[in-house]
Amino acid sequence: MPETTEQMIEYIVEEIVRRPGVKVDEDTPLVSSGLIDSLALVDILLKLEDVTGTHIPAGKVQPKDMDTVRLMFSTAARVGKPRKK
Amino acid sequence: MSKTWLVEAVGISLACLLSWRVSSPRLRQVLFLISSYLFYAGVARWFVGVLVASTLMNYGWGSLLRRRPTAGLLWGGVLVNLLLLGGFKYVPGISASWAQMSPFAALTRIAVPVGISFWTFEALSYLFDVYRDQEIDPSLLEFSLYMAFGPTVLSGPICRLPDMLPQFREARPLEWEDLRHGLQRIWLGIFMMMVARTLGSGLQPGQGVDAGFESTRLGGIDVWLLAIGYGFQLFFDFAGYSHIAIGVARLFGFRLPENFNLPYLSTSPSEFWTRWHMSLSFWIRDYVFLPLATARREVWWRNLSLLISMVIFGLWHKATLVFVIWGAYHGVLLVLHRVWQQTQRRFGFDSTGWFFTPMAWLVTFLAICFGWIFFRAPNSEKAFAMSRAALSPTSYHPPSFALDYYLVVGATLAGYFLVSALRARLGAEDESIFAWIPVELRSGCYAAMLYVLIFLYFVAFQTTQPHAFIYFQF
């Protein structure tokens, strides 16, 4: 598993979900299962920008594109633009 | 009225039978589009022209946007749609405030095309999706059907083209399961709307939620009863209507998005908005809140985005002060919940368990019901007076409504929570909790109850005061 994926999963488990016993992997549904709400989705989107070093225009993203960690990274690859330094 | 509904019921049945015989997807689309336009024209008369104009405009705009996906073109399309919506829906209301000035008097007489808020939001989601590079390439016929789709054109659920397009193009034969499920949903919907009617009108003339909101002397207990009663009236009315829309679509083999999912079992305002009027709530989340909230990184901006999104939610219903307050109130509830979540995290406080979960439910339930005062009150003065009565201990004098009204509300609540708890426990769909009854007996009972309900609704109740579906006004 790439380091960035691990970083993202760790963030979701420890900062967002924070429920004992809940396990998250690359394909765990997060939005559709109700595990995360709209506000948490914003946190995750911003974290994804940091992890991938891109700017992800939210106007190009739908919650279903962020449903699993795997989908998040493919979304970032699809619509993310390199950040201006 | 009953004659119109009878014609529509016969029309739907005929279209259903015809569609079952047609295997070509294109021919089915033509058939559905013609019947959808006839249905809409039957209800909204010449406003069908507005629907066709909006369809053509949005289809053209979408094609342009696909070739040149620029933000300017997107916002141009959004603006045109909002002008159309605002022209019909908001100008008459705003003009009424200045009706004494002659130039505005004529504007108050503009009628609203029924369902315009629903199909305009469907058109907007199409433009947003095209801008987001979604792979959707509808033909004009398919897009027209999406906008005018009979089961949803009047009051939703608000659909998305990426979900509907594959269904329009599918040539799968209809199955017995579609018919069974569709009829069950229609039956359940009619039943729920009858419950809403009973809550609204009461068992005797001059009682019920509708009369209660007109009353001038309300104590704290009365206000809470009215707020809770109205919350359930609105739920049974709109969720019932949604069941019917979903059921009718299913008769033709289409699956629509769900609109309600046990909303009054929510243990937080955030959860409530994933369970109440879901098709609009998710629309606001996807196309308003997320783009807005991620524009800046500061926490205050995220909270402000929540507030703005919920005010837009309120304004979607009507451009009146009470709906702005109702939306803002929910925005504040969501922000408070967010602050509470952060506080819990900071101090490592676990708010689940046998005590905190029921408490969270109770607080959420009362907060949501309190908000209904603003949703239902005829004006802001009345809403504030009722709020004061609900929150002021000195106003808690003995209740002024007749005992049977308390029984109606109590019985409705008991029934709702019993069925909801069963559903939540079994994780089942509405009908599955009765799965233990033999299917032949179930079908017979459903059919008999459906006929009784149809008879009551279309024949017996026509002699009393008419009841309008609440969301038709939006």
pLDDT per residue of chain B (474 residues) written in tens, 0 to 9 = 455 666 666 776 677 677 777 878 899 899 899 989 988 988 888 899 999 999 999 999 999 999 999 999 999 999 999 999 998 888 776 666 665 655 556 656 667 888 999 999 999 999 999 998 778 899 999 999 999 999 999 998 999 999 999 999 987 777 888 988 999 899 889 889 988 988 888 877 777 888 889 888 888 999 999 999 999 999 999 999 999 999 999 988 899 999 999 999 999 999 999 999 999 999 999 999 998 998 888 999 999 999 999 999 999 999 899 999 999 999 999 999 999 988 888 887 777 788 889 999 999 999 999 999 999 999 999 999 999 999 998 888 877 788 888 888 888 899 899 888 887 776 655 455 566 666 666 666 666 666 656 655 554 455 455 566 777 777
Going by C-alpha positions, the residue among B206, B201, B212, B211 that lies closest to residue B236 is B201
Pair (B311, B228) in one structural domain: yes
Residues B291 and B360 in one domain: yes
ipTM: 0.84
Chain B, nearest residue to A79 by Cα: B132
Nearest to B338 among A39, A41, A56 (CB): A39
For B226-247, give the DSSP string.
HHHHHHHHHHHHHHHHHHHHHH
Mark which of B140, B171, B202 sits at the end of a domain.
B171
Asked if B126 and B199 sit in the same domain, the reply is: no
Distance CA B191, CA B199 (A): 13
Domain boundaries, given as residue ranges, for chain A = 3-82
- Residues B392, B469, single domain; the answer is yes
Q: Where a domain ends, among B132, B149, B171?
A: B171
- Chain B residues with CB under 8 Å of A42 CB are 290, 293-294, 302
Is domain A3-82 given the CATH code 1.10.1200.10 in the classification? Answer: yes
Residues B158 and B237 in one domain: no
Amino acid of residue B222: D
Interface contact flag, B290 A61, Cβ < 8 Å: yes
Residues B149 and B290 in one domain: no
Tokens of A33: 């299962």
Residue B330 and residue B463: Cα distance in Å, rounded? Answer: 39
Nearest-CA residue of chain B relative to A43? Answer: B294
Report CB contact under 8 Å: A37, B293. Answer: no
What does DSSP say about strands A81-82 and A54-55: parallel, antiparallel, or unpaired? antiparallel
B61 and B105 part of one domain: yes
Choose the final residue of a domain: B120, B144, B171.
Answer: B171
- Chain A residues interacting with chain B (CB cutoff of 8 angstroms): 18, 34, 37-39, 41-42, 45-46, 56, 58-63, 79
Active site residue B317: yes
- Structural domain boundaries, residue B410: 177-473
- Domain count across chain B: 2
- Round to whole Å and give the CA distance between B120 and B118: 6
Residue of B nearest to A35 (CA): B271
Chain B residue set in contact with A, beta carbons under 8 Å: 71, 128, 131-133, 270-271, 274, 282, 285-286, 289-291, 293-295, 297, 302, 306, 334, 338, 345
